[in-house]
Amino acid sequence: MEMVYERYHSQLFTCALSITRCTGLAEDAINEAFCRGLRLAEAPNNIKAYMFRSVRNAAIDQIRRRSKNISFEDSYIFDFSVSPLELAEEKQFKQRIAESLLKLSEDERETIIQHIYVELTFQEIADLRERPLGTITSWYRRGIEKLKTYLEV
């Protein structure tokens, strides 16, 4: 489990953050998922898929337990820490992407984030979400088309 944590923490965090949109809730979801994983009698066949599913489920549980009025953190996808090298235009474009992602359905947004930012394959996402591969690719395709429309100048 330690190796899984070290290797996938950043991706698991991105996955949880895409659901909770709150850094604290995302970290709580990861901790909850790893606590569950440590209590397993035996390791699952695909520990990576198991942990992504567990983090996703824990993130959804975090949302259910909290108020629907969780404030939007614009860093839920990008790191907006102040850097002298970061251009204002680039920061503004990242903000537009983050805002556009929020306009998508939850399924489209989560699929795009898991594929692009977490670098999961469509098959891994299908296994993780327990959905057919065709459904995952449809959510991705529709979401990307909508993003293109939202981001056109």
- Per cent of the chain over pLDDT 90 is 31
Domain span holding position 11: 2-78+85-151
CB 40, CB 53: distance < 8 Å: no
CATH number at residue 101: 1.20.140
Q: Binning pLDDT at 50, 70 and 90, where does residue 139 land? A: very high
Alpha-carbon separation of residue 127 from 63, 120, 122, 136 (angstroms): 22, 11, 9, 10
pLDDT 10s digits, 72-131:
455 545 555 555 555 677 777 778 888 898 899 999 999 998 898 888 899 999 988 899
**pTM exceeds 0.85, yes or no:** no
CB 18, CB 109: distance < 8 Å: yes
Average pLDDT taken over every residue of the chain: 83
Alpha-carbon separation of residue 124 from 38, 53, 117, 133 (angstroms): 22, 10, 14, 9
**Given its phi and psi angles, is residue 86 left (phi above 0), alpha (psi -120 to 50 degrees) or beta?**
beta
Report how many domains make up the chain: 1
Q: Binning pLDDT at 50, 70 and 90, where does residue 138 land? A: very high
List of residues 6+ apart from 18 with CB closer than 8 A: 76, 77, 109, 110, 113, 114, 117
Residues 110, 107: Cα–Cα separation, whole Å: 5
Residues 12, 113: Cα–Cα separation, whole Å: 11
